[in-house]
Amino acid sequence: MTTRQIPSEEQVIGWMDSLSNWGRWGADDQMGTLNLITDAKRAQAAGLVKEGISVTCSRLIVPELAADVTSIPPLHYMVRAGDSAPAEGSGGTADFIGFSFHGLTITHLDALCHQTWNGKMYNGRPASEVGSDTKATSLNIDAAQNGVVTRGILLDIAKVKGKKWLDAGEPVFVEDLEAAEKAAGVRVEEGDALMLRLGWYKRRLEEGPPVAGRPGLHAETLPWLKERGVSIVSGDASQDVDPSGYPKLGLPV
């Protein structure tokens, strides 16, 4: 049995350069790994559809204050209610819905301006390009305005570990990803969206909001993600295990 090699913090910091995609698609690129989703990849994904069943990947939107709600809870106000509708003729209803997308409450796709390293965003753009008044002038979510269509690979990590759900702070390693691939009879390929089932949302529904920590990918998986050409990482917790195990790196993945 091969002994797992946990990378040091210095090694992971080095990966910020050696595994970087900065400049890979040109100095002005704002798509990042979405570039790996080619026309051929989209056609391949579309060709896999057999039954056409639609399955949501989002969690329920619940306006609540809870231990794991790390941002402003969703807001929902009625602007015009049905009791004001006339008894005769046309009428209507309207509401206001407000979201703070970041955090663990609302299912969302992060833009490339969301994370910085040494004051820089993707492709070396300065973090100052996200201003309080100007908002994100580059690397914003507009890069995905045409939608994202690709093959999704669901790896059930909880199942291959023989658990209902992973524990808080439990990391997912390369061996776990490959065991889940083998169990499902699939292989993650370039341009695929990697979707992880950790059982974390099931745990929340059954046991309530967790107080601290969550399962997720260990930084050890970073070379694997780059080698396989993963375009997007998604899951029912978040991409990184928390705590990460590295004092200087809260979200290395």
pLDDT (0 to 100) of residue 209 = 86
Low-confidence ranges of the chain (pLDDT < 50): none
Full-model pTM: 0.92
3-state secondary structure (DSSP) of residue 206: helix
The residues facing 216 across adjacent strands are: 171
Percent of the chain having pLDDT more than 70? 99
Question: Please, what's the largest Cα pairwise distance for the chain?
Answer: 77
CA neighbor of 58 nearest in space, from 105, 103, 98: 105
pLDDT (0 to 100) of residue 2 = 59
Task: Give me the torsion for CA of 227, 16, 197, 31, rounded to 10°.
Answer: -80
pLDDT of 25-48, one tens digit each?
A: 999 999 999 999 999 999 999 999
pLDDT of 112-134, one tens digit each?
A: 999 999 999 999 999 999 998 88
- What is the rounded CA–CA span in Å between residue 179 and residue 173? 10
